[in-house]
Amino acid sequence: ASYLNPIYNFDNFIEGDCNRLARSAGMAVAQKPGITSFNPLLLYGGVGLGKTHLVQAIGNYIKQHDVGRFVLYVSCEKFTNQFIEAVRNNNMQGFMNFYLQVDVLVLDDVQFLSGKEKTQECFFHIFNHLHQAGKQIIMTTDRSPRELVGFEDRLLSRFKWGLSADLQQPDLETRIAIIQKKLQAEGIAMDIDVIEYIAHSIDTNVRELEGVIVSLMAQASLNRREIDLDLAKRTIQNIVQHVDKEVNIEVIQKRVAEHFGVTVDDLKDKSRKKELVVPRQVAIYFAKEYTDFSLKSIGYHFGGRDHSTVIHAIQSVNDMLKTDKDFKAAVQEIQKSFKTRPN
């Protein structure tokens, strides 16, 4: 068993600025395992950014092009459990022999080995043996090698022998492409404005993006309806509130609108009337304070304004906070209502 999952490949891994180096290094390793200077190849980045997908794609590619090669994918949790099992059964020899035969070793989530001295020592020997024999080692971690703690120096220094490449949060265009790819795989159609709404609203990681699509599909089939903007909004509101009880953009817009006696639609309106401009700027200011949205995404949630308008709004509010006591009191009152009143 190689524990590779054939659903992960390079074709369904969307390339973007966020993952370009990691992906191309991965492709180079897939084409010439053990031969490039990318040995080990270490991919790092936060949860849900595609580390497992990419290393699985490398493994699958190698296996497809050379069936004789022994490619092994293993999570470090599993590796640790196998190690403990071998110690308990007095079967270290069998354990080592198995790993020393591998041609391409993919170790996922290496940070799991932090503080596990005996397991690390065992991995150190496997690493040395394989590397010397020109075998390829591929690893992932949730942070850069510099930030790893609880590792022996000699092992850490080996992590830096080859290439480390990071995976970052996907930008808007990449998120849109990922959603489209996913929909295509599921054979589902969706309007571009719905896709854009989702991409603008979920900018944390790809796993969350996929979660939204899955629950949208479930909602749509349950209620026998199409996935339209309205359904997307309600689904995302539920999910976002679920994941994060903090203030979200819908709550901000609602509270600010209520306070100033305007409607949420007014906040998104193109109108430049003074009585709408200030509430809109306040809501934008809070969106920047409370959400992780980029300036571009904040603009999107306020009727498609560009990022310079968003910057201007935030500056105006900051200026008024300094000079206008009543205004400051109003802003503080709205702020309080986020937490104290039920949404």
Nearer to ligand ADP, 52 or 120 (CB): 52
What mask of x and - would describe binding to ligand ADP in positions 204 to 243, judged by CB under 6 A? --xx--x---------------------------------
Instruction: Name, in order, each residue with C-beta under 8 angstroms of 202's C-beta and a sequence gap of 6 or more.
Output: 175, 208, 209, 212, 236, 240
Q: Whole-number minimum distance, CB 96 to ligand ADP, in Å?
A: 27
Concatenated DSSP letters for 59-84? HHHHHHH-TTS-EEEEEHHHHHHHHH
Picked from Mg ion, ligand ADP, none, the partner binding residue 116 (CB below 5 to 8 A depending on kind) is none
Nearer to ligand ADP, 40 or 48 (CB): 48
Concatenated DSSP letters for 269-310? S----HHHHHHHHHHHHHHHHH----HHHHHHHTTS--HHHH
CA distances 14 to 174, 266, 311, Å, are 7, 37, 31
E strands of 78-148, at which residues? 104-108, 136-141
Give dist(CA 149, CA 157) in Å, integer: 13
Amino acid occupying residue 323: T
Q: Which stretch binds Mg ion (CB under 5 A): 7-15, 45-53, 80-88, 303-311?
A: 45-53
CB 60 within 8 A of CB 4: yes
Q: Which stretch binds ligand ADP (CB under 6 A): 64-72, 203-211, 252-260, 271-279?
A: 203-211
Q: Which stretch binds ligand ADP (CB under 6 A): 6-14, 151-159, 272-280, 325-333?
A: 6-14
Using the rule CB under 6 A, is 50 a contact of ligand ADP?
Answer: yes
Candidate residues 25, 41, 42, 49; the one interacting with ligand ADP per rule CB under 6 A: 49
Q: What are phi and psi of 165, to 5 degrees?
A: -135, 140
Using the rule CB under 6 A, is 178 a contact of ligand ADP?
Answer: yes
Picked from Mg ion, ligand ADP, none, the partner binding residue 283 (CB below 5 to 8 A depending on kind) is none
Using the rule CB under 5 A, is 52 a contact of Mg ion?
Answer: yes
Nearer to ligand ADP, 179 or 257 (CB): 179
Helix 20-31 and helix 51-65: axis angle, to 10°? 20
Q: Tell me which residues touch ligand ADP (CB under 6 A).
A: 12-14, 19, 45, 47-53, 178, 206-207, 210
